[in-house]
């Protein structure tokens, strides 16, 4: 047999070799295009050509520090820790102790006079008393007595209503059951 006859007798092997050669050529071309594309777009591990940022640059996040009770609970100290250019007598360095503002409960009555057993609306504000349970009290016989009403503080405010069958001047207040803090009294005439 001649060489030409052997080559023509094996067309499957010839086809596989041709397919492998074409696949290798296409793969090399696509790989080169992908490599050039990533370099142009700046995709990849090398950041020197994409943003121009140096390794020494970083984010500086100041440390949190406590503030007074009137503002936010935590603020960021923006003074550089390395540059301490304040004098010992500066107001910035002297600590001032402020008295804590008292949590004062303010109570208001929606009505000043109502009929016997009519609704009396009680509303108020309790700064810093979020979630507190308040007990309504009525002044009877020279002392404050618990009235059959409790309420909770939400968003530093509260509201409820009471009904009284006691004819005449009725004084009401609310008391924080946990701390004992009492509101101002309100007067409502019933009858």
- Give residue 95's pLDDT: 46
Instruction: Read off the pLDDT of residues 85-94 as tens digits, 9 standing for 90 and up.
Output: 545 554 544 4
Instruction: Read off the pLDDT of residues 51-67 as tens digits, 9 standing for 90 and up.
Output: 555 555 667 777 776 66
Tell me the β-bridge partners of 121. Answer: 161
3-state secondary structure of 87: coil
- What burial class does residue 111 get, using C-beta atoms within 10 Å of its C-beta: 0-12 exposed, 13-18 middle, 19+ buried? middle
- Most confidently modeled range among 4-13, 30-39, 40-49, 120-129: 120-129
- Give residue 163's pLDDT: 93
Residue pair 151/160 in contact (Cβ under 8 Å)? The answer is yes
- Give residue 67's pLDDT: 61
Q: Which of 99, 132, 136, 131 is nearest to 121 (CA)?
A: 136
Lowest mean pLDDT among 2-16, 59-73, 99-113: 59-73
How large is the C-alpha radius of gyration of the chain?
41
Tell me the β-bridge partners of 106. Answer: 125
Residue range 106-190, CATH number: 2.60.40.10
- Strands 119-125 and 168-176, bridge-based pairing: unpaired
d(CA 145, CA 176): 14
- Give residue 54's pLDDT: 54
């Amino acid at each position: 047999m001649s060489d030409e006859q052997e080559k023509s007798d094996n067309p499957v092997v010839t086809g596989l070799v041709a397919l492998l050669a074409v696949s290798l050529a296409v793969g090399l071309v696509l790989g080169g295009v992908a490599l050039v594309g990533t370099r142009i777009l700046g995709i990849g591990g090398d950041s020197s050509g994409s943003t121009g940022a140096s390794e020494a640059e970083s984010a500086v996040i100041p440390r949190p520090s406590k503030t007074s009770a009137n503002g936010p609970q935590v603020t960021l100290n923006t003074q550089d820790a390395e540059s301490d250019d304040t004098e010992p007598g500066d107001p910035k360095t002297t600590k001032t102790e402020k008295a804590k503002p008292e949590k004062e409960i303010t109570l208001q009555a929606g009505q000043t006079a109502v009929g016997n057993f009519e609704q009396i609306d009680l509303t108020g504000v309790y700064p810093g008393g979020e979630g507190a349970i308040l007990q309504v009290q009525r002044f009877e016989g020279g002392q404050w007595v618990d009235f059959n009403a409790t309420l909770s503080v939400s968003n530093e405010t509260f509201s409820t209503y009471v009904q009284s069958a006691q004819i005449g001047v009725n004084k009401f207040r609310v008391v924080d059951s946990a701390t004992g803090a009492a509101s101002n009294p309100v007067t409502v005439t019933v009858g």
